[in-house]
Amino acid sequence: MTNDIKIAVVGLGQIGIYLLNELNIKKKDIELKTGKKIKVVAVSARNISKKRRFKINKKIFFKNPLDIFKETKIDILFEAIGLSDGISKKVVETALKNKIHVITPNKALISKHGDLLAKLAENNNVNLEFEASVAGGIPILRTIKEGLSTNKISKVYGILNGTSNYILSEMRNSKDSFSNVLKKAQKLGYAEPGNPKLDLNGFDAFAKVRILSSLAFNTLISKHKCLMEGIEKIELKDIEIANQLNLRIKLLGISEIINGSLFETVHPCLVSKNSYIGNVSGVMNAVILEGKPVGESILQGEGAGPGPTSSSLLSDLLSILKGNVKKPFGIPHIKRKSIKCYNVNNYTNSLYLRFEVKDKPGVLSKITNRLAKYKISVKRLIQTPDKKNNKATIVIITHKTNELNSKNCLSIFKKDKDILNYPTLIRMYN
Amino acid sequence: MTNDIKIAVVGLGQIGIYLLNELNIKKKDIELKTGKKIKVVAVSARNISKKRRFKINKKIFFKNPLDIFKETKIDILFEAIGLSDGISKKVVETALKNKIHVITPNKALISKHGDLLAKLAENNNVNLEFEASVAGGIPILRTIKEGLSTNKISKVYGILNGTSNYILSEMRNSKDSFSNVLKKAQKLGYAEPGNPKLDLNGFDAFAKVRILSSLAFNTLISKHKCLMEGIEKIELKDIEIANQLNLRIKLLGISEIINGSLFETVHPCLVSKNSYIGNVSGVMNAVILEGKPVGESILQGEGAGPGPTSSSLLSDLLSILKGNVKKPFGIPHIKRKSIKCYNVNNYTNSLYLRFEVKDKPGVLSKITNRLAKYKISVKRLIQTPDKKNNKATIVIITHKTNELNSKNCLSIFKKDKDILNYPTLIRMYN
């Protein structure tokens, strides 16, 4: 690598434009730390004249990012479009094939095509860095790949979606409904204005879990989906009941090796109000690693937004500029193994079940009998009448049972006219 | 560097011997991750026949570590003796001069001679790595140097001494005295059996603060000592009063740039029971970084013991084996600047003051008058009589005042016969 480094930034949304400004501001600092002079020689976006927070140099603008490779020489490309396929994949592939280092915060792309792209990067002896794809400003990937590199990691879990964590925290604080708090989150820029679905249904957190797993356990990215649930079905009522029980609801992503199989999940969990994870609020992300010999490590930081994301993108840049050519997943692609998926039917938890029922005799015993039939024992039961509407809310905390058993047990309530909704189920975090 | 890497381990105490075993166990994993085969070709300690947890190969034993350089070719040396000067310094200097990479967990050495040794390493184009010197298994130095490398850090603080944190936590839990809990800590291996002074008087934490400062702010290691206090004077009484006030006592190390000057301190702090830092208990360490654009980052993990320390030592080893030749302090030695020390007289806090006094009329007013004279206003005052001994305890929480003022104000009580001890002062963390 020469001392003059030519950079392209593709995608000028919130993150791309913030990054462009940071590259400009930090030029001197980067030269001090690496001895390299960086210069942005190409930018690309769909719309040249869109109103943006920072100005762009229109002389280096490309409407079609693929033209950059034909018309300019570049050393490093930032991909900030954010699609899992299409032009994002095309741009990254083309860059790697042209021996151009790639840096991206795109978790959708990496969690879907990371194996293929890593192989391509290795074959062309360039870096593919994606620190910003998981947990914003927390350097969690680098910590697994380097800081804890010789530890045997057995579990990694945490709060990986800032949007969901903000909504759950804010519902609790403001006692407002899911839909109102979502609107507020959109206004504040914490949730996508157009389609926030991928944050709310657990998909975003699941993509991050997949990336974390493959780094922590040296495996290929899994294609299975053990269990993925988002926060869409959480009602204010659940949050308030949890509060009375000294619990909080958190969307956790969990990855763990159980008897040689990979267990990956994202779902809302009930955690103790006094636990560490129960106190990570707002848009904060937190990742907890269990490893040997290091013990338990915790990393917490802002999980979203252009500031934290830029921090990670620039750390990737510095790593490349320092000449640290690295395997994208820490070890050679060929040594990464596929791993079988844990049978989710065996996943075992205490459950929180909320039934909304008609307030009439026999309903409660119908529920408890059904639970008894499946040997699901009740640890706690709270029935609250709603006389006005001739309804009642029954909350049951069960002892531990597995997924298959609880699914079979609860299935009957789909058809029962006395049960007004299919029961809300939230797992207790062990 | 060839593919066969020759390693020496100097110092076979708790850490050295654990490391030796880990190097043996992790050989294959290290080869997988770096392509390098490691071999321990020399070990050294004062006593060859001391009883150790893991066996050593006596054929490669050197009584005098300096003989290693004369008799064997080595690539990487681990220094685990732990002295700030003497043979530790001599061994590290000789290694660097012989173009041998050095890895050490020795904070006393690095905080005292880090600048000199970094220069030596740079001149000889080898690595000097000391991740394990601060916060055990938490990869905090690598996080500052790499993961957050282009952030402008404004403050770094946290719980940096596991021994002190264990003692404070255990005094609270067991309601036992400082001296009894210290004995327990020594039995459990959490405190030095011989001389635990450096952990208890704040020295150990201060050495870590100095290393953190120089990395976070790109400065030479400071030689000043703004303010250093340990936990030796904390009594069970203080812990119990703090508890009643919904506070906890924690030994914090703090480093911050204030108006262009470096403020470094270690002292016990009163923090809220509900704060994050108030809930970091036992031998856990935690480091909090404030930076732009990343915001607040938190790293928590086990802070002491051979397991976490080994985790960091091996991460340093992998970094070297991957060929990442790095400046020991992130930027070239010549670019690191000295920085002036903040005037500690201006350090401003609310104070917790505990007076043990003779229970007689006029004593309380003597205290409050003196405080009033120095414009230190009282936020809260609790007087508890001890009729049996004709004594009373007066606890005062003040509004904010600076160090100079409080020192001047309190000085008079040294000579006052009605005040039975010089008042215990604990600063409230802002």
CB contact under 8 A, A137 and B295: yes
Taking CB atoms and an 8 Å cutoff, what residues of chain A touch B317? 150
Whether the per-residue pLDDT at A49 is higher than 90: the answer is: no
Taking CB atoms and an 8 Å cutoff, what residues of chain B touch A300? 297-300
Q: Which of the four pLDDT bands, split at 50, 70 and 90, describes residue A195?
A: confident
Question: Using CA atoms, how far apart are residues A403 and A346, in angstroms rounded to an integer?
Answer: 6
pLDDT in tens, A205-216: 999 999 999 999
Strands in A175-310 per DSSP E: 227-228, 247-258, 261-272, 284-292, 295-302
Q: Which of A30, A294, A306 sits opposite B302 (nearest CB)?
A: A294
* Contacts of A246 by beta carbon, 8 Å cutoff, 6+ apart: A272, A273, A274
Q: Which ipTM score applies to this complex?
A: 0.83
SS3 assignment, position B151 = coil
Of B33, B208, B340, B415, the catalytic one is B208
Top residue of B28, B31, B33 to mutate, by most chain A CBs within 10 Å, is: B33
Whether the per-residue pLDDT at A194 is higher than 90: the answer is: no
Return the pLDDT at A168: 97
Question: Using CA atoms, how far apart are residues A297 and B142, in angstroms rounded to an integer?
Answer: 15
Average pLDDT value for residue range A256-277: 95
Average pLDDT value for residue range B285-296: 94
CB-CB contact of B395 with B382 (8 Å): yes
CB contact under 8 A, A299 and B299: yes
To the query of whether residue A183 is one of the catalytic residues in this protein, the response is: no
A345-428 maps to CATH 2.30.38.10? no
Return the pLDDT at B195: 82
Q: Which of A143, A301, A318 sits opposite B139 (nearest CB)?
A: A143
Q: What share of chain B is helix, strand, coil (3-state, %, to 5)?
A: 40, 25, 35
Q: Which of B150, B302, B318 sits opposite A146 (nearest CB)?
A: B318
pLDDT in tens, A91-108: 999 999 999 999 999 999
CB contact under 8 A, B22 and A319: no
pLDDT in tens, B369-422: 999 999 999 999 999 999 999 999 999 999 999 999 999 999 999 888 999 989
Which chain B residue is nearest to residue A131, measuring alpha carbons? Answer: B147
Taking CB atoms and an 8 Å cutoff, what residues of chain B touch A146? 139, 142, 146, 315, 318-319
Return the pLDDT at B209: 97
What backbone torsions phi and psi does residue A255 show, to the nearest 5 degrees?
-135, 130
| A96: its two tokens | 């790697």
Return the pLDDT at B230: 97
Return the pLDDT at B1: 74
- Mean pLDDT for all residues in chain B: 94
Top residue of A15, A22, A148, A294 to mutate, by most chain B CBs within 10 Å, is: A294
Q: At what angle do helices A14-25 and A27-34 cross, to 10 degrees?
A: 60
> Distance (Å) from the C-alpha of residue A12 to the closest C-alpha of chain B?
18
Whether the per-residue pLDDT at A141 is higher than 80: the answer is: yes
pLDDT in tens, A303-318: 878 899 999 999 999 9
Taking CB atoms and an 8 Å cutoff, what residues of chain A touch B319? 146
Spell out the alpha helix ranges (H) of B202-341.
203-217, 236-244, 306-321
| Domain regions of chain A by residue span | 4-133, 140-303+336-344, 345-428
Whether the per-residue pLDDT at A383 is higher than 80: the answer is: yes
Domain A140-303+336-344, architecture per CATH:
2-Layer Sandwich (3.30)
CATH of domain B4-133: 3.40.50.720
Q: Which of the four pLDDT bands, split at 50, 70 and 90, describes residue A274?
A: confident
Taking CB atoms and an 8 Å cutoff, what residues of chain B touch A30? 150
Question: Using CA atoms, how far apart are residues A221 and A207, in angstroms rounded to an integer?
Answer: 10
Return the pLDDT at B191: 83
Top residue of A78, A150, A314 to mutate, by most chain B CBs within 10 Å, is: A150
Whether the per-residue pLDDT at B130 is higher than 90: the answer is: yes
Whether the per-residue pLDDT at A192 is higher than 90: the answer is: no
Return the pLDDT at B430: 79
What fold characterizes domain B140-304+336-344? Dihydrodipicolinate Reductase; domain 2 (3.30.360)
CB contact under 8 A, B293 and A300: no
Taking CB atoms and an 8 Å cutoff, what residues of chain A touch B324? 322-324
Return the pLDDT at A53: 84
| Identity of the amino acid at B127 | N
Which chain B residue is nearest to residue A304, measuring alpha carbons? Answer: B294
Report the percentage of chain B scoring pLDDT > 90: 85
CB contact under 8 A, A291 and B301: no
Question: Using CA atoms, how far apart are residues A316 and A312, in angstroms rounded to an integer?
Answer: 6
pLDDT in tens, B319-362: 999 887 679 999 999 999 999 999 999 999 999 999 999 998 99
> Distance (Å) from the C-alpha of residue B148 to the closest C-alpha of chain A?
6
Q: Which of the four pLDDT bands, split at 50, 70 and 90, describes residue A191?
A: confident
Question: Using CA atoms, how far apart are residues B12 and B56, in angstroms rounded to an integer?
Answer: 9
CB contact under 8 A, B297 and A300: yes
Whether the per-residue pLDDT at B50 is higher than 80: the answer is: yes
| Window from A345-349, B109-113, B149-153 with minimum mean pLDDT | B149-153
Question: Using CA atoms, how far apart are residues A103 and A316, in angstroms rounded to an integer?
Answer: 7
Q: Which of the four pLDDT bands, split at 50, 70 and 90, describes residue B251?
A: very high
Highest mean pLDDT among A12-21, A88-97, A188-197, B305-314: A88-97
